[in-house]
Amino acid sequence: MLKEIREKTQILEELLKKYNRIGIITHKNADPDALASVIGLKEIILQRAGITPITIFPEGLNSLSKRIVSSLEIDITSSDEVNEADLYIIADTSSSTQLGKYSDNVLKKDIVIVDHHEGGDLGEKALLEIKTSMVSSTSEIVYAIGVDLGITFSTRVLELLLSGIVFDSKRFIIAKPITFRIIADIVDSGVDYSKIIQLFNIRPDISERIARLKASMRAKHYRVKNVIVSLTEVGAFEASVARSLLELGSDVVFVANQIDKNEVRLTARASSYFIEETGIHLGRDLLSRLSNYFGGSGGGHDAAGGYTGYNVGAWELLGKVFELLIELLEERKYANRREVKEITQD
Ligand SMILES: [Mn+2]
């Protein structure tokens, strides 16, 4: 099904015959792609080698995976006994540190990698690497291996693989051509697509929704040419608040949380439009500079970052970050401060 892995799938089939005790492990806090890959590989080994492999989920599942497991009623048993297997398949993981406390012991065994990430240190230690970047998820690779080996996946496993693909392709935003072919196959096999999609529409807890609403009531918004800047304060859920304000229409959002009378935590998020339009990198250009004023440290990515400062109030910090932002916009000749307009209710 996937040309570039077909030969390796044959090697895997031969390899599976040589071991009676097989384990499957994935990265810490398994996301839906990691979860689906492990369970999909388990079914492949069961059908092809006739043995039940042990499965290890280091530090368990993340919250979305837990939700999927309980809604699809999947049995996931996580073992702690690394020595119960001689061959380990490491799924959806490219670096050994992601295996957590199991890393050293698993690497003493024979290992096979099934993954879609670039780089990492695991490849050099593996007997076999089934890896490609022609997919958006490891679940797609596992599905393709299954097809090549003539496996009939159960509906439960197909549902899991579908959820792994939806998750890792960021709901198809970064899907590859093969992603859609595999999805079509899976849906053709009778999997209820809308049921799986609904698992991803999580209604946040009421306390989180109240935090968002309170933060939006307290917010100050400014228009600077074609970008909208929002500043607000909240006692929890800063990242969720920032996301919701971007969703409402802001381009760059700063959310302060006064942790105690000396400490303020700042969370910043920007739209891709803001980054393209202004060339500003939040972590490098803005957040890392705040320590010059209020100590602490800050940084992050272009579109997301944070800062923790001391001996400053929430709105004083927000005022400073806004001032630095306007300076940057002036330096970059995007706008000058006379073009800053507060957005008011009338
Ligand atoms: Mn993945």
CA dihedral 47, 51, 57, 60 (to 10 degrees): 90
CA–centroid distance, 92 to ligand 1, in Å, is: 5
CA–centroid distance, 33 to ligand 1, in Å, is: 5
CA–centroid distance, 34 to ligand 1, in Å, is: 6
CA–centroid distance, 303 to ligand 1, in Å, is: 22
The CATH code for residues 3-198 is 3.90.1640.10
CA–centroid distance, 179 to ligand 1, in Å, is: 13
Residue 174, pLDDT score = 87
185 vs 191: CA distance, rounded Å: 9
The CATH code for residues 206-343 is 3.10.310.40
CA–centroid distance, 67 to ligand 1, in Å, is: 18
CA–centroid distance, 243 to ligand 1, in Å, is: 23
CA–centroid distance, 340 to ligand 1, in Å, is: 42
Residue 235, pLDDT score = 96
Give me 337's structure tokens.
């401060």
Tokens 């030969």 found at: 7
Question: Is residue 201 pLDDT above 90, yes or no?
Answer: no
Average pLDDT over residues 312-337: 97
Break the chain into its structural domains and give their ranges.
Answer: 3-198, 206-343
CA–centroid distance, 147 to ligand 1, in Å, is: 19
pLDDT digits (tens, 9 = 90+) for 121-157: 898 899 999 999 899 999 999 999 999 999 999 999 9
In 155-192, which residue ranges form alpha helices assigned H by DSSP?
Answer: 155-168, 177-188
pLDDT digits (tens, 9 = 90+) for 250-303: 999 999 999 998 999 999 999 999 999 999 999 999 999 999 999 998 988 888
Q: Band the pLDDT of 31: cuts 50, 70, 90.
A: very high
pLDDT digits (tens, 9 = 90+) for 207-228: 999 999 999 999 999 999 999 9
Residue 232, pLDDT score = 98
CA–centroid distance, 172 to ligand 1, in Å, is: 13
Buried b (16+ CB within 10 A) or exposed e, 212-225: bebbbeebbbbebe
| Cα–Cα nearest to 113, from 214, 222, 12 | 12
CA–centroid distance, 173 to ligand 1, in Å, is: 14
CA–centroid distance, 260 to ligand 1, in Å, is: 38
CB atoms within 10 A of CB 71: 14
pLDDT digits (tens, 9 = 90+) for 158-175: 999 999 999 999 889 889
Q: Band the pLDDT of 192: cuts 50, 70, 90.
A: very high
CA–centroid distance, 132 to ligand 1, in Å, is: 12
Residue 120, pLDDT score = 82
Residue 318, pLDDT score = 98
Q: What is the DSSP string of 235-262?
A: SS-HHHHHHHHHHHT-SEEEEEEE-SSS
Percent of the chain with pLDDT over 90: 88
CA–centroid distance, 24 to ligand 1, in Å, is: 15
Residue 10, pLDDT score = 95
Question: Is residue 2 pLDDT above 90, yes or no?
Answer: no
Percent of the chain with pLDDT over 70: 100
CA–centroid distance, 23 to ligand 1, in Å, is: 19
CA–centroid distance, 198 to ligand 1, in Å, is: 20
CA–centroid distance, 16 to ligand 1, in Å, is: 23
In 18-132, which residue ranges form alpha helices assigned H by DSSP?
Answer: 32-49, 63-72, 103-107
